[in-house]
A and B are shown apart, each in its own frame.
Chain A
């Protein structure tokens, strides 16, 4: 029995970054795909508070939350460093991870699934965050310097998942090459990095998942015209698709 297991979701950027970190360290593990609509007793037992993926199980002990997991992997196993060694550089890496997770990704994701004025507001909010990232990546190949680091992992959604999702829903002019040339270049470098390329979910597979999620939005709207009207006027906070399951 493998002493390392990952409970995750195939399409999740958070699951993928954990798997990439383990692979970078050369750690063998068992992967368990979780059905987020029908959560397993295993997941509920090991992440009873948040009930989310990814979960790392090491010798039966669960570690949850992707950034906590990445720091754990870096501390436990030898191999290429995920975080910088220098205390100040580590502090800066942690700062950017938190910034990306708190200020960039939520408005970018929510903008994909909202409409009208609410969407414009979220786009503005996302752009404010991206401007700081644009500055940070200037003159650097990757956020981690020459090698992929924890900040690159934190921003994987921005590099890969976001462009596909935005394209699918028809969201325009949030992260354009004109406005964010350095981030664009970084996203390209990140996604074509030999190691990353082999470990991303294929685009068609991800789009299929978006389609099935989109179908549920349409059905939800038809089933309740009142809800549809209220959705258009109210904040989309009540909108079920808002929450993404993985972290």
Chain B
């Protein structure tokens, strides 16, 4: 029986980050696909409070929440660092991951799924958040500099998932307004390691693109 298991949904950007981190460290793991409408006993036991994926199970112990899992992976296994080694740069990475996960994702999804006046309000806020990211990525190939970092992976849904969800619903991250984010998205999605580990577009399109 495998010592390391990941419980996830194939289409989740959060699960993708965990799988990529384990692969970066060369860790063999068993992947278990969960059904959002029929969550397994294992998932409910491992994450009784939030009942969400991803879950990492290592030697029978469950670790939950994507960034917490990534930090655990980084401390447990040798290999290329997931977070910067320098304390100040680590603090900056944690800051940006928080910003992306708590501010950007939240406002983006609300901008997509709400309607009317509320939608306009969330769109405005989402655009402000994108402007902050646009500023941060200026002059850099990746958020991590020359190399891909945990912050780039945190923003994976902006590069890959969001264009699909928002397609046909609205234009939020336009190339005119956000040329640097567009350029970064292209670098990120075409990075050889990332490209091999994103769910293929031919299965993503029917899942996410509006009819």
Instruction: Point out residues on A near B: beta carbons under 8 Å.
Output: 49, 58, 61, 63-65, 68-69, 71-72, 75-76, 87-88, 90-91, 94-95, 98-99, 132
Contacts and interface: CB of A to CB of B under 8 A. Distances in A.
Contacts of B68: 91, 94-95, 98
Contacts of B90: 71-72, 75
A75 B87 contact: yes
Contacts of B87: 72, 75-76
B64 interface: yes
Nearest to B67: A94
A191 B88 CA distance: 31
A68 B97 CA distance: 11
Given A72-B91, A88-B63, A65 B75 contact: no
Nearest to A129: B49
Contact of A68 (B58, B71, B75, B95): B95
A91 B99 contact: no
A87 B64 CA distance: 13
Interface string B23-39: 00000000000000000
A71 B90 CA distance: 9
Contacts of B63: 88, 91, 95
Interface string B75-116: 110000000000110110011001100000000000000000
B49 A132 contact: yes
Contacts of A88: 58, 61, 63, 72
Contact of B95 (A65, A95, A98, A132): A65
B71 A94 contact: yes
The B interface, classified by DSSP as helix, strand, loop or mixed, is helix
B132 interface: yes
A97 to B, nearest CB: 9
Contacts of A91: 63, 68-69, 71-72
**B interface bracket (residues with beta carbon within 8 Å of A):** 20 to 34
B134 interface: no
A63 B94 CA distance: 10
Given A72-B87, A99-B49, A64 B95 contact: yes
- In order of increasing CB-CB distance, the 7 nearest A-B pairs are A87-B75, A75-B87, A72-B91, A91-B72, A91-B63, A63-B91, A94-B68
B189 to A, nearest CB: 26
25 contacts: A49-B99, A49-B132, A61-B88, A63-B91, A65-B94, A72-B87, A72-B90, A75-B87, A87-B76, A88-B58, A88-B61, A88-B63, A88-B72, A90-B72, A91-B69, A91-B72, A94-B68, A94-B71, A95-B63, A95-B65, A95-B68, A98-B65, A98-B68, A99-B49, A132-B49
Given A68-B98, A72-B87, A95-B65, A87 B49 contact: no
A95 B64 contact: yes
Contacts of B61: 88
Nearest to B73: A87
A71 B160 CA distance: 31
A162 B129 CA distance: 31
A72 B91 CA distance: 6
Given A75-B90, A87-B76, A95-B65, 12 more contacts: A63-B88, A65-B94, A68-B91, A68-B95, A68-B98, A71-B91, A71-B94, A72-B88, A90-B71, A91-B63, A91-B68, A98-B68
A95 B65 CA distance: 8
Contacts of B49: 99, 132
Contacts of A99: 49
Contacts of A69: 91
A229 B7 CA distance: 49
B201 to A, nearest CB: 33
Contacts of A87: 72, 75-76
